[in-house]
Chain A
Amino acid sequence: MTALTLAFTDGWVVTKRNLIKIKRIPDLLIFSTIQPIMFVVLFAYVFGGAIAIPGVNYKEYLMAGIFTQTVMFGAGITAIGLADDMQKGIIDRFRSLPMSRSAVLVGRTTSDLLNNILVLIIMVICGLLVGWRTHTSPPEVAAGFLLLLAFGYAMSWVMAVIGLSVRSVEVAQTAGFIWMFPVTFLSNAFIATDTLPSWLQPIAEWNPFSSVVLALRDLWGNAPEGLARGDGFPADHPIQLSVLWIAGLLVVFIPFAISRYRRAAGR
């Protein structure tokens, strides 16, 4: 077997192991769902009244942002899960077996992707309940969800590096999530970027998070004509830019995470 097939077959064994754990301790799944639902309710009903975005129903505007935030937080589980594994004896078992060196990471990111799919299904139902609708063809809607999951998967590899760099689950919990707040709020997820101070606007517009959110709005028809979407390349090509960002993150962080894993595991 080649190294690549081995990475996938062994990775799948580790994926199944992680999924069993989700089944045995469903708390993590429950809490990773409660949080985005809370955000939906908070923004749709509390802040929604105060934030006016001309030309669009705020609840429709909001959901692309919440979904993207959801998959990003979901990716945070990768950091926690890996930090947990590295602390336990099981990692010595894995490392003494003739299994693929990247299987632990492939398995972790894959099970977190599946986890994200599950959470997204719940979030879609939640969005439909508060009044979010798509206005495009099914392939475009599906493309939006694929893009969303791809972004979550890429973020999982970023989180993997964080999880392997810290020394405990507790630190992973903080280090994995704390930077997400500026990234998600300094974006077009909840507000229109033209309300920001002018020096912050380019940062928010070039934020990869903003690109994904805007791409989703375009793919789902949640960004009607006349919506303030900033200007320049990020505003004109959000889908292309999102794909580039995702590819870039994967190209950089997959090898980075694998080398981190080897080092962190004592090699």
Chain B
Amino acid sequence: MTDAIVAEAVVKTYGAVRALDGIDLRVPEGTVLGLLGPNGAGKTTCVRILTTLLKPDTGTVRVHGIDVLAQPQRVREFIGLSGQNAAIDEHLTGFENLEMIGRLYHIGAKKARQRAHDLLERFDLTDAANRPAKTYSGGMRRRLDLAGALVTSPPVIFLDEPTTGLDPRSRIGMWEIIDERVRSGATLLLTTQYLEEADKLCDNVMVIDHGRSIAEGTPDDLKRQVGGERVEVVLAERSTLDLASGVLKEVTGEPPAVDESELRLTAPATNGAKTLIEAVRRLDQAGVEMSDIGIHRATLDDVFLALTGQAVTEDEPAAAPEGRREGKKR
């Protein structure tokens, strides 16, 4: 299998800040790589370099087999980009936006109109097709922006935080659309702050922090490192701490982590919901009063905690380059 996206030793600095500090990545054709990291980790900088919008200080980048630095214009024919803030013209209608993009990809006037119609229908925007995009909701703008990235059905797609700021329903809709592209054979690189999203969409995940890769692997690998799903109990009374601890150890086979101040016990839920049900039953039988019990799914925070021993820190200087153009809303 050939690699659709290859980056080697990519460094980008802004003054003293190393926004990207030697990133290496490979995305095999037809697979999805997720860049996972907090704000300011360098995700957007990375996407901007891969999509010809930004030149790295050093390093090599190839997309669809083409050297991005030497032939940016050729690369642009094969990529689609949907950015963090919707790259659409809000005074143009949805249809006009997509038609314009088609024309600028040089697919011809007739085909551009046809694609615009098809995409608006596919993205559930037909009713709004002739309204200026500024009247669209946040979710509709994102869909229109993503549609813009798919006008030519490009073989390589870059999505920078495609679901950030979307409500849960729009997010699921977005996942379906992304999934469909992948099934039709596209290679995808997406950035996200959500482990759940990476788990759902990605074949491989790279966790980045301060412009460096701190972990790589399949979503399952990552979750395993973090400890997967856990059952979490919050007790009503301090006196039952030892008792509850003993019960949980029997159920899960491991002594739970205890947060004494919060009266919170956490243990691995190897069998997911089954473990939870068992724990509820046994704790109740033992007469332990609980103020809360549930399954805790690993989050980006957990990944960071597991990998760095620190919670997510949003680094201001590193965040700055992503909104580098002053006055630009990011």
A→B interface (CB under 8 Å): 1, 10, 13, 16-17, 20-21, 24-25, 86-99, 101, 103, 167-168, 265-267
**Cβ of A20 and Cβ of B106 under 8 Å apart?**
no
Pair A13/B86 contact, Cβ less than 8 Å: no
A153 to B133, CA, bound (A): 30
Q: Contacts of B8 on A, CB cut-off 8 Å?
A: none
**A266 interface neighbour in B86, B101, B104, B325, Cβ under 8 Å:** B325
With contacts A21-B91, A266-B324 known, is A89 near B83, CB below 8 A? yes
Instruction: Name 22 A/B residue pairs within 8 A (Cβ), A-sorted.
Output: A10-B104, A13-B100, A13-B104, A17-B100, A20-B96, A24-B132, A87-B328, A87-B329, A89-B83, A90-B88, A90-B89, A92-B81, A94-B104, A96-B51, A96-B79, A96-B81, A98-B74, A98-B77, A99-B106, A167-B325, A266-B54, A267-B55
Instruction: Give B55's nearest chain A residue, CB to CB.
Output: A267
* Pair B87/A93 contact, Cβ less than 8 Å: yes
For A17, give its contact among B48, B54, B55, B89 (CB under 8 Å).
Answer: B89
- Which residues between 62 and 99 of chain B lie within 8 Å of chain A, taking CB atoms? 73-74, 76-77, 79, 81, 83, 85-89, 91-92, 96
Is B127 in contact with chain A by the CB < 8 A criterion? no
CB distance from B164 to the nearest CB of A (A): 14
Given contacts A92-B83, A266-B324, contact A13 B51 (CB under 8 A): no
Q: Min CB distance, B300 to chain A, in Å?
A: 25
Q: Which of A17, A96, A103 has the most CB of B within 10 A?
A: A96
Q: Within 8 Å CB of A95, what residues of B?
A: 52-53
**Residue of B77, B86, B92, B327 touching A87 (CB-CB under 8 A):** B327
B156: min CB distance to chain A, Å = 12
Since A21-B92, A93-B87 are in contact, a sample of 8 more A-B pairs with Cβ atoms closer than 8 Å, ordered by chain A residue number, is: A21-B89, A24-B91, A87-B327, A92-B87, A95-B52, A99-B105, A266-B54, A266-B324
Q: Which residues of B contact A265 (CB under 8 A)?
A: 53
Question: Would B92 and A17 count as touching, CB distance under 8 A?
Answer: yes
Summarize A's interface: helix, strand, loop or mixed: helix
When distances are taken between beta carbons in the complex, the residues of chain A under 8 Å from B292 are: none
CB distance from B318 to the nearest CB of A (A): 17
Residues of B within 8 A of A (CB): 48, 51-55, 73-74, 76-77, 79, 81, 83, 85-89, 91-92, 96, 100-101, 103-106, 132, 145, 148, 324-329
A-B contact count (CB 8 A): 84
Residues in B with CB closer than 8 Å to A86 are 325
CB neighbours (8 Å) of A25 from chain B are: 91
User: Are the C-beta atoms of B53 and A96 separated by less than 8 Å?
Assistant: yes
Q: How far is B328's CA from A211's CA once the two chains are assembled, in angstroms? A: 40
Cα-based distance from A174 to B54 in the complex (angstroms):
30
Residues of A with C-beta under 8 A to B81:
92-93, 96
Nearest A residue to B134, CB-CB: A24
Please determine whether B105 and A98 come into contact, CB atoms closer than 8 angstroms: yes
Of all A-B residue pairs in the complex, the 4 with the closest CB atoms, nearest first, are A93-B87, A89-B87, A98-B76, A99-B104
Whole-angstrom CA separation of A247 from B19 in the bound complex: 44
CB pair A97 B85 closer than 8 Å: no
The smallest C-beta distance from B222 to any residue of chain A, in angstroms, reads 30
On chain B, the residues within 8 Å of A88 by CB distance are 89
- Among A89, A97, A167, the residue within 8 A (CB) of B86 is A89
Closest B residue to A265 by beta carbon equals B53
Q: Say yes or no: A93 contacts B101, CB within 8 Å.
A: yes
CB <8 Å contact, A20 and B91: yes
When the two chains form their complex, are residues B101 and A97 in contact, meaning their CB atoms are under 8 A apart? yes
B89 touches A97 (CB 8 A): no
Given contact pairs A89-B83, A89-B86, A90-B89, A96 touches B96 in the complex (Cβ within 8 A)? no
